[in-house]
Structure 1
Amino acid sequence: MNGDTQEQIIDAAGGFWEQIYLTLRLMLIPSRLNQVGIVLMLMLIAHLLSRFLSPRLRGWLRTREGWPKWRLRLGLMIDRRLRLILFTAMTWIVVLVMQQITFPSLSHVIRQAATIATAVLFIAFMSRLIGNALVRRIAKWAAWIWAVLYLLDLSNDAARLLDSFALSLGTVRLSALTVLQAMAVMTALLAGARLVTGAVSRKLGESADLSPTMRVLVAKILQIVLFTLAIVVGLKAIGVDLTGLAVFSGAVGVGLGFGLQKVVSNLVSGVIILLDKSVKPGDVISLGDTFGWIDALGARYVSVVTRDGKEYLIPNEDLVTSQVVNWSHTNDFVRLDVHFGTAYQDDPHKVSKVAINAAMSVKRVLAQRTPVCWITGFGESSVDYVLRFWISDAQGGLTNVRGQVFLALWDAFKENDISIPFPQREVRVLGDNGDTTPKFIAGD
């Protein structure tokens, strides 16, 4: 830090402190002390009222069953800021009354306190648009400080002080003021982008003309464009020449391409999945040993929820390069097979008819696609059959509907005296004289 920079910092700090001292002296002159007293009294009244009203407001919110979440969250925000809301409302009422019965200068301090309270309250509510808690807290406090300085006419001196803390990088002069301005611009734009993408996503979700994959694709493209625009505008705000970053970004892109091959592959695979509509939210898929329905399509992975409540995050690349069974790709119809066997003395024609009727008694089995039953072979102990039927709700599970069909077969076979055989084995015990008379017969 050179001598000129030190002198600028000292000069700016002195001017800022002098302005603060002058503001305090003007506020504490005898003609304005009564206004300061009124402001303090209003703060005390607002505190007491909030302690009285807050428990009742929370109790009333607990009784609001069926309210949407945004209303409940708004009610909780009002409860947390109830003291400030009451103080702001009472202060403006006092200002309006005093302007009617006395000179405006006699309510200057009260009006200034009301203006500051209004700005603080507005910032507190608007900061909820920022999703990240840490960023929201930093942005909120920074906006509060700037609002107070601006309303007290101290913003110019504070900006001069921050601008004196500067660092020169080639042709770019980077000061604390420009960095804070860029952060404020990017935070505001990112919050706006998040609000716009959320609203667009909700509107797309209500549209019946777009497929689920197109809704996700449009929302993601809009999110990428708006977020990129926010970062570019923020960098331009601090004076960064983006044209000079072209060669550097190309070199960095090559290095990142080798180091982040899997990540890039998953991102590109995600775009391919959205474009070719091979899978979409709600589809029932099988990938290896994983069977479940797609809950969400992410930029890097697909969320698949199984019947036992487990959520698998499958990389997009696996869905593009591996063999995936999509049970509901072109339509929702799925055919299932159930294998069983009956004794040789049972009439096969009767067995087939009874098995078809048993399958049709299960609710999830489609009646418009009549089940069929065929003999598949003559086994050692039974005549083997396959019963084929169709369902249209694979997301409801496959094992359970097979189990229901097996139970229906069991009950139907009992009612119609059809037996389900099991293998029989004959054990012969040879005596010392070579006698082969059966001594023991057992069934497996």
Structure 2
Amino acid sequence: MEQRIEAAAAFLLDWLKTNVLTWETAAQWGCVLAFYLLGVLAWRGFEKRLLAAVDRSHANHLVRSVLRALVDIGNVAGFFVVMLVCEGVFSALGYNGRLLNAAGDLALAWIAIRLLTSVMPNRAVARGVAGTIWTVAALSVFGLLTPVTDFLRGLNFTVGDASFNALGVINGLALAFLFIQVASLVSQFFEGRIQRNQGLTPSLQVLLGKALKTSFYTVAVLAAMSSVGIDLTSLAIFSSALGVGIGFGLKTIFSNYVAGIILLMDNSIKPGDTIEVGGVFGVVRDMRGRYASVLTRSGKEHLIPNELLISGEVVNWTHNDRNVRIGIPVGIAYWSDVDTAMVLMERATEGVSRVLRDPSPTVLLSGFGDSSVDLELRIWIRDAEGGVSNVKSEIMLKIWKLFHEYDIEFPFPQRDILLKPDSRLAVTIEKGGDDG
């Protein structure tokens, strides 16, 4: 190992003396740095305007990303052209423009990398991939790629019965990143096509999207592992044994995932439904593998485990029919005009936009209470996700105003006291004494 390190250091020192520490190379380095800085400063003003124009465009996200990448490489493209011109000038003067040629090749590689990473959805991975590819290109241009790869290939290590080297592991990680990015792009494309298909129910769209994404990512990981040289047969045996032990520890998590698949398949709960479960009333925003996201009217987002939605009692207000009936109980005094009160209660629904006219609002006499005649106003709405209490409050306020206008009285508790003939009622009045 020490001999390899010493050989690599000696090669690097010799390369520096031959290719860097000369007057001819210094002049080329000066051209490279000067024209690069000039390009950056000159392009900065145009770049802001062009990026603003791209952001104002109505193109989709992918097209905007590519356009922003084209604007971003404007200075590098200009630098590449200038390097070609400088190389031609050095050649005409009888000098070897190898460094200028290398700088131009690196600029061209950076342009290709920037355009490639612009379509990657994960920006952190895209930056890592860009840095890795640029490093490989730089080593190749300066003639250092072969020595570096030979050095990494010589670093061997063993895991069990399998033998690996550092170069193979790096290649495997690079391929894994590449395959995962390809799987992400392909899954996003198919998810977009599925969501635009109006013939599929929302739950089926979610189920197909998650199934495709899982399949693509699984294939990507297996392909990357196979490229490194990992025996997938032995991995399958190991994973089956390990899965038994993990299954007992992660039983609740697995049950939630299975419950999520069942919910998506039976279409009992789907995104957009208004549900009530465990005291939570809200709209299902999203259904994930482990939980369903329910947004309440107060702005709180509850993450309900899928297992609870399967085993517990769930009220789905919009399962098959979005029409929802709401009952508003109202009590009036016994001496009030019941017929007038019923007409006024029905009139209170007029002008409330959320109340449906078909089915029309109805008023029923529901019972005779201890202190009141019990009436009930029944209305229908189609947008339960917009809230129930707010529409009830609006109608009850109008009922209050109409009852006061037409002298319909609201009841209050009353009790009659009956004194038998032989009973006695003693009343004692006490006054506070005057201490003065």
Per the TM superposition, whether the score is higher than 0.5 is: yes
Per mean C-alpha deviation after superposition, the further-off stretch among 254-263 and 373-382 is 373-382
1:311 to 301, 307, 313: 301
Confirm or deny that 1:57 pairs with 2:56.
no
Determine the structure 1 residue equivalent to 2:84: 95
Percent same amino acid at aligned positions?
A: 31
Confirm or deny that 1:148 pairs with 2:138.
yes
- 8 Å CA contact retained: 1:381, 1:423: yes
1:388 to 378, 387, 391: 378
Determine the structure 2 residue equivalent to 1:403: 393
Point out where structure 2 has 5 or more consecutive residues left out of the alignment: 430-436
Aligned counterparts of 1:240 and 1:186: Cα–Cα separation in 2:
13
Per mean C-alpha deviation after superposition, the further-off stretch among 327-336 and 97-106 is 97-106
Q: Per-residue displacement from partner, 1:335-369 (whole Å, max 9, x unpaired)?
A: 11010111223332332222222224422111010
Question: Number of residue pairs matched?
Answer: 425
Whichever residue aligns with residue 43 of structure 1, its letter is: Y
Give the CA deviation at 1:148.
Answer: 1.2
Q: 1:65 to 1:113 in 2, by over 3 A?
A: closer
Matches within 5 A, 1:294-443: 294-425=284-415, 434=424
Confirm or deny that 1:42 pairs with 2:31.
no
Report SS of the residue matched to 2:359: coil
Q: Per-residue displacement from partner, 1:375-417 (whole Å, max 9, x unpaired)?
A: 1111222211111111100010011111112112122223333
Per mean C-alpha deviation after superposition, the further-off stretch among 255-264 and 374-383 is 374-383
Give the CA deviation at 1:233.
Answer: 1.2
Determine the structure 2 residue equivalent to 1:194: 184
Report SS of the residue matched to 1:282: coil
Whichever residue aligns with residue 7 of structure 2, its letter is: G
Q: 1:199 to 1:21 in 2, by over 3 A?
A: farther
- 8 Å CA contact retained: 2:332, 2:409: yes
Q: 1:49 to 1:174 in 2, by over 3 A?
A: same
TM value normalised by structure 1: 0.84
- 8 Å CA contact retained: 1:343, 1:420: yes
Aligned counterparts of 1:63 and 1:204: Cα–Cα separation in 2:
28
Report SS of the residue matched to 1:424: coil
Aligned counterparts of 1:380 and 1:30: Cα–Cα separation in 2:
109
Aligned counterparts of 1:304 and 1:138: Cα–Cα separation in 2:
36
1:117 to 107, 117, 138: 107
Over the aligned positions, Cα root-mean-square deviation in angstroms equals 3.6
Determine the structure 2 residue equivalent to 1:10: 3
Report SS of the residue matched to 1:374: strand
Determine the structure 2 residue equivalent to 1:216: 206
Per mean C-alpha deviation after superposition, the further-off stretch among 205-214 and 85-94 is 85-94
Report SS of the residue matched to 2:348: helix
Q: Per-residue displacement from partner, 1:79-104 (whole Å, max 9, x unpaired)?
A: 9x95x741442332441586599659
Give the CA deviation at 1:137.
Answer: 4.7
Aligned counterparts of 2:48 and 2:264: Cα–Cα separation in 1:
46
Aligned counterparts of 1:130 and 1:278: Cα–Cα separation in 2:
36
Report SS of the residue matched to 1:213: helix
Give the CA deviation at 1:264.
Answer: 0.4
Point out where structure 1 has 5 or more consecutive residues left out of the alignment: 1-5, 440-444
Aligned counterparts of 1:72 and 1:229: Cα–Cα separation in 2:
28
Aligned counterparts of 1:185 and 1:300: Cα–Cα separation in 2:
30
Per mean C-alpha deviation after superposition, the further-off stretch among 398-407 and 207-216 is 207-216
- 8 Å CA contact retained: 1:205, 1:215: yes
Q: 1:45 to 1:370 in 2, by over 3 A?
A: same
Q: 1:422 to 1:65 in 2, by over 3 A?
A: farther
Aligned counterparts of 1:98 and 1:68: Cα–Cα separation in 2:
39
Aligned counterparts of 2:69 and 2:222: Cα–Cα separation in 1:
35
Give the CA deviation at 1:115.
Answer: 1.7
